[in-house]
Chains A and B, each alone.
Chain A
Amino acid sequence: MTQPERQAWDVVVVGAGGAGLRAAIEAREQGARTAVICKSLFGKAHTVMAEGGIAASMGNVNEGDNWQVHFRDTMRGGKFLNDWRMAELHAREAPDRVWELETWGALFDRTADGRISQRNFGGHEYPRLAHVGDRTGLELIRTLQQKIVSLQQEDFREFGDHEARLKVFQECTITRVLKDESRGEDGGAVSGVFAYERESGRFFVIESPAVVLATGGIGKSFKVTSNSWEYTGDGHALALLAGARLTNMEFVQFHPTGMVWPPSVKGILVTESVRGDGGVLRNSDGKRFMFDYVPDVFKDKYAKTEEEGDRWYEDADNNRRPPELLPRDEVARAINAEVKAGRGSPHGGVFLDVSTRMPAETIRRRLPSMHHQFKELADVDITAEPMEVGPTCHYVMGGVWVEPDTAQARGVTGLYAAGEVAGGMHGSNRLGGNSLSDLLVFGRRAGLHAAQYALGLGGGRPAVDPGTVDAAADEALRPFSAGAGAGEQTAGDSGENPYTLHQELQTTMNDLVGIIRRGGEMTEALQQLARLRARARRAGVEGHRQFNPGWHLALDLRNMLLVSECVARAALEREESRGGHTREDHPEMDRQWRRVNLLCRLADGGDDTPFGKEPAGDAAAGPGRGRIELVRHTTPHIRRDLLALFEKDELAKYLPDEELFQ
């Protein structure tokens, strides 16, 4: 096979969302020649969809706020499973990351004295989310995009070439991170990436000692989701295949409020700002049911009556917040329970109402996209009637297991991960607004350390082995000779339809590893995943390589199946309920599980592709054998000065005794 074209860069960033762009800006400013690769057009990454805001304790609206309070809220939200060092770095650095956006041209909504306005959100003690109406993600991505353009303009002035030191390869997909086995830690060191261009189907290789994964989430493995097509868990899978481990994969966030009607829009997000700004949840009896669902750990932090909750919007210092603003996992479970008890709305959700809570004019000003979205897609005027909402798969807390300070994937030299693809920061449940800040804080750190590592290597860089490039090309071309991989192709057999496989996968995950989980169902899910995996080896496509979505999907299936298996396996193993993970058969949170992190890694022979060392026989594809194995890891004790930020009584709810009295 002829070898694909090669280019050399210092740092490759996979992904052009908030995390990827921030990483690229940093790497380039450190002096590294940086390539950014993304599946869709520049400026369209999933981050563009974020609505409510970005959390940072600037204290512009309530002076009581500071990083310690933000840290506390984040740990509580994650039920203390968070990597505390990441949570600390995040809370400390978020304000600087937001302010810096203003110097790049961002225009946030303002307070009366001209500072950045901040809004309330679930789980945040003070108004903390910097925002632009309900299109904060668009502002974030556009600002970073325009900063990249401004750096390119600088390079043009200096070198006569916009892309001399920072280039965006848009509509290109990475299918493999390449390694040089002879270098770095035991598994070898990163030497580059293998990619195809969506437009032409052409393959290419970028040689680079440092690769930053910033590929976002995994929601497209679930049927009802707020996520876009890009969320096929590519970065999670690329990391696994490159020898990294994933942590916290059992924790998937179901956002409590997605649209439920009409069916074609089911899952599209209804931003939490609707509740932050005063919207309330009601069941079919007209009751504000959230008052019945305040769990013990939060009892003294939330209003007991509607009157108190309503007063809080005006006077937060002397009243407690309404329970509609509990962390997402609590609200999602409550909605689920109401619907199950027969008190749902006509289309199987509950009612979310702003129309009786604020004047129409205010709604249109503060929630313009929601107003637009419901009017255009559901014929509902939210200034006059309630919305119908229900839980939707929204965010994955789990991800690449990284070093908190450097964002390096533990144990893989040259690999970094930031943003939704990285794990640990949010523990078992992410607070709203904490993702956008996470992207910037750890995106910057990943870019910084990737650049320092790459530049520090000098000339002796890890090499790209032509054999692995051939294997990557074989793997990517397999769908065009469907069935051949499994050795059972017959003439005229065009293989399995990738769209059908994808739909079956989504149904499996949605129904068997969804918001409420049971041991038996997850065991069944694992069996179904194994069968789907065997069939996916025969996924076939028609047509040619030029912009062929069927082919792209066939390749994405590998990633979705790997990641889904991680979720199902870890969820089956964790026999407790915590944050985004709810077991009907183990409904309580168990303090002993607080220090257990479940790590997923590729099992021996798990790479059943032309790449894998062990050729995959039928046994490898059979239901008995998975491609993922779990390892238990004990998390380090939380640093004392951070523990001291909490009351002993509160800690006793979360931490096992030996940790309390360490």
Chain B
Amino acid sequence: MTHTAHFKVWRGDAEGGGLADYDIEVNEGEVVLDIIHRLQATQAPDLAVRWNCKAGKCGSCSAEINGRPRLLCMTRMSVFDPAETVTVTPMRAFPVMRDLVTDVSFNYTKAREVPAFVPPPELEPGEYRMMQEDVGRSQEFRKCIECFLCQDTCHVVRDHEENKPAFAGPRFLMRVAELDMHPLDAAAESGLDRKRTAQEEHGLGYCNITKCCTEVCPENIKITDNALIPLKERAADRKYDPLVWLGNKIRRRGE
């Protein structure tokens, strides 16, 4: 069950680089990250790659395999034809640091721009009561492992550096939605309108619901349908545009 596979791996740094060729052994049941590790141990000890858990839980090992944003540790070699060349490149939307490692600080900057959960002032710790059906929606978004693959794939920033300042990206728009749907978030009482800020400060308007982000999400979170579209509806609602509001209501009933 062992075969030799042909790999092309991007090697280089901020100054530039290119694809390097490797022939490398592949065994049954292995994932792409296993192969990268074997390259490190046998042919390229200084090949840079991020990883932690090797179980799809930490979101560290994001890269592009044959051009598609994926987790290296959750991509099995068996999905490729043994004769096929497997090309591994760093995430394109972020600046390269070295080899497969990119500078993802954009995401941490965006995370800081979303105002935190506001605890309800009248409740002490231990007094929170929430029903499962009410937390379920936000819980789906909290499955996010911050692999930033959705950020990488979204066309608003993928090849448009100029949009980065104004656009939080699907992961952090989803964070706004998560807080907005949190049953006990007291942002509104404190004068913060999350829906409005989604539109005005985090660039929700740039999203034209192509759903590319949803397609690459390794946690299968329905980012577009469950977070972005409802957020758009709620934001529109907030802007007191009766026509949009009515239109949404009617469409939803008709669905």
Contacts and interface: CB of A to CB of B under 8 A. Distances in A.
A499 B40 contact: yes
B130 A110 contact: yes
B232 interface: no
Interface residues of B, number: 58
Contacts of B115: 153
A378 B78 CA distance: 11
B143 interface: yes
Q: Give the secondary structure class of B's interface.
A: loop
Contacts of B143: 135, 138
B17 to A, nearest CB: 12
A102 B27 contact: no
Contacts of A142: 142, 144
B31 A264 contact: yes
B31 A110 contact: no
Interface in B35-66: 40-41, 45-60
Nearest to B104: A41
Nearest to A378: B29
Residue among A48, A264, A373 with max Cβ neighbours from chain B (10 Å): A264
B254 interface: no
Contacts of A46: 52-53
A377 B75 CA distance: 9
B132 interface: yes
A100 B119 CA distance: 11
B183 to A, nearest CB: 9
Interface stretch (A68-76, A242-250, A355-363, A544-552): A544-552
A471 interface: no
Contacts of B185: 105
A48 B135 contact: no
A103 B125 contact: yes
A153 B59 contact: no
Contacts of B46: 541-544, 548-551
Interface in A447-502: 497-500
A547 B125 contact: no
Contacts of B27: 263-264
Interface string A223-258: 000001110000000000000000000000000000
Contacts of B250: none
A373 B55 contact: yes
A608 B153 CA distance: 49
A276 B98 CA distance: 44
A114 B130 contact: yes
Given A162-B112, A549-B40, A110 B142 contact: no
A384 to B, nearest CB: 19
A49 interface: yes
B60 to A, nearest CB: 5
A604 interface: no
B216 to A, nearest CB: 15
Interface in A105-134: 105, 107, 109-110, 113-115, 132-133
B55 A547 contact: no
B23 to A, nearest CB: 19
B52 A549 contact: no
B182 A264 contact: no
A146 interface: yes
Interface in A518-555: 541-544, 546-551
B201 interface: no
Contacts of A269: 55
B54 A107 contact: no
Interface string A144-185: 001101101100100000100000000000000000000000
Contacts of B34: 264
A502 B51 CA distance: 17
B132 to A, nearest CB: 4
Contacts of A261: 29
Given A103-B119, A107-B182, A546 B130 contact: no
B138 A107 contact: yes
Contact of B129 (A107, A113, A546): A113
Contact of A262 (B30, B53, B54, B179): B30
Contact of B52 (A40, A268, A543): A40
Interface in A374-408: 376-378
Contacts of A146: 116-117
B74 to A, nearest CB: 6
Contacts of B132: 109-110
A646 interface: no
B142 A132 contact: yes
A96 B98 CA distance: 44
A268 B104 CA distance: 27
Given A96-B125, A105-B182, A110 B131 contact: yes
Contacts of B119: 103-105
Interface in B175-192: 179, 182, 185
Nearest to B117: A105
B145 A546 contact: no
A199 B125 CA distance: 41
Given A105-B116, A149-B112, A376-B56, A541 B142 contact: no
Nearest to B35: A264
A199 B97 contact: yes
B55 A44 contact: no
A45 to B, nearest CB: 8
A204 interface: no
A115 B129 contact: yes
Interface in B69-110: 74, 76, 97-99, 101, 104, 108
Nearest to A540: B45
Nearest to A230: B52
B142 A107 contact: yes
A265 interface: yes
B29 A264 contact: yes
Contacts of A139: 142
A168 to B, nearest CB: 9
A95 B126 contact: yes
B232 to A, nearest CB: 23
Contacts of A48: 52-53, 57-58, 145
Interface string B118-135: 010001011011111001
A135 B218 CA distance: 14
B192 to A, nearest CB: 12
B125 A100 contact: yes
A46 B76 CA distance: 23
Given A229-B51, A263-B27, A547-B98, A102 B112 contact: no
A99 interface: yes
Given A229-B51, A264-B31, A107 B135 contact: yes
B99 A547 contact: yes
Contacts of B128: 99, 102-103
B50 A372 contact: no
B13 interface: yes
A322 interface: no
A43 B112 CA distance: 13
Contact of B45 (A103, A262, A549): A549
Given A102-B125, A149-B116, A542-B46, A138 B29 contact: no
Contact of A44 (B41, B49, B59): B59
B111 interface: yes
9 contacts: A96-B126, A103-B119, A104-B119, A138-B57, A139-B142, A263-B28, A541-B45, A549-B47, A549-B48
Given A46-B53, A547-B101, 4 more contacts: A40-B52, A100-B125, A104-B117, A262-B29
Task: Give the 8 A-B residue pairs with the shortest CB-CB distance, closest first.
Answer: A262-B29, A105-B117, A150-B116, A543-B46, A550-B45, A114-B129, A99-B125, A499-B41
